Amino acid sequence: MSSPFATVPILGVPIACVATHDILGLVAAWAAAPQPRTITYVNAHCLNVAAATPAYHAVLQQADLVYPDGISVVWASRVLGGRGMAKSTGADWIDIFCHLAVRHGWRIYLLAGKPDIAQRARANLVARLPALQIVGVCDGYFQMQSEAEVLAEIARTQPHVVFVGMGTPRQELWVAEHRAALATPICWSVGALFDYVAGAEPRAPAWMNALALEWLWRLLVDPRGKWKRYVLGNPLFVLRFLHQLGRG
């Protein structure tokens, strides 16, 4: 990990003590540098998956920046003495990022979501900010183009940032497998971010976010798809964290 920020180890994953402005400041520095960087997020679900998936766990340990996208991770960091960590959710920072991209002239590639999600997300972002340079898009299942064609397009368009939204842990494992072929300064795993940008998934109301209840909103919106993640996963994360504390 090459982040200049302190980290807190939670379930064996070093998580940076950062807030959104710290992350975007690093992105601004890294986008102008030749060294390739990888960025990803974690929440309770991600850490549960990492505990059961050694390859994903190893990728998280090797990433240049792992930041918190879940309030339970922030709370756990405080128990461990971490300072300055704040939940950073993509749907909250994407517009700020896009304004930075226009200011700095960054080129962006979107590899995310089901077919049509990346296109709709690009249309929405460019409608709000016409000068934004999104140099390519593809769905995260490679139905629009083959994997080889996507890699060739990224090589040709030379984006500064490639956003990868395939879900955990597939997106992180994909980036790790192909990082050498992705000659781009930043590869950033973002989960379902572009589902929100495309308007395919509704955001939690502001009052629920303020009360740290975004997880409950997602459960209510998609109970069949999310009940294991939250009803079983949240208590499992707590148990795993308590076990970590017990080991000292």
pLDDT tens by residue, 142-186? 999 999 999 999 999 999 999 999 999 999 999 999 999 998 999
How many distinct structural domains can be found in the chain?
1
Instruction: Using pLDDT thresholds of 50, 70 and 90, give the confidence band for residue 2.
Output: low
pLDDT in tens, 77-119: 999 999 999 999 999 999 999 999 999 999 999 999 999 999 9
Q: Given this model, what pLDDT does residue 4 score?
A: 86
13 within domain boundaries: yes
- How far apart are the C-alpha atoms of 80 and 225, rounded to whole Å? 32
**What does the pLDDT average to over 193-209?**
93
Q: What is the pTM assigned to this prediction?
A: 0.95
58 within domain boundaries: yes
DSSP code of residue 61 = H
Instruction: Using pLDDT thresholds of 50, 70 and 90, give the confidence band for residue 247.
Output: confident
- How far apart are the C-alpha atoms of 229 and 19, rounded to whole Å? 25
| Structural domain of 40 | 7-195
Q: Report whether pLDDT(1) > 60.
A: no
4, 37 contact by CB (below 8 A): no
CATH number of 35's domain: 3.40.50
- How far apart are the C-alpha atoms of 248 and 243, rounded to whole Å? 9
Residue 224 makes CB contacts below 8 A (sequence gap 6+) with none
Tokens at residue 60, please?
A: 């998280």
Q: Report whether pLDDT(131) > 80.
A: yes
140 within domain boundaries: yes
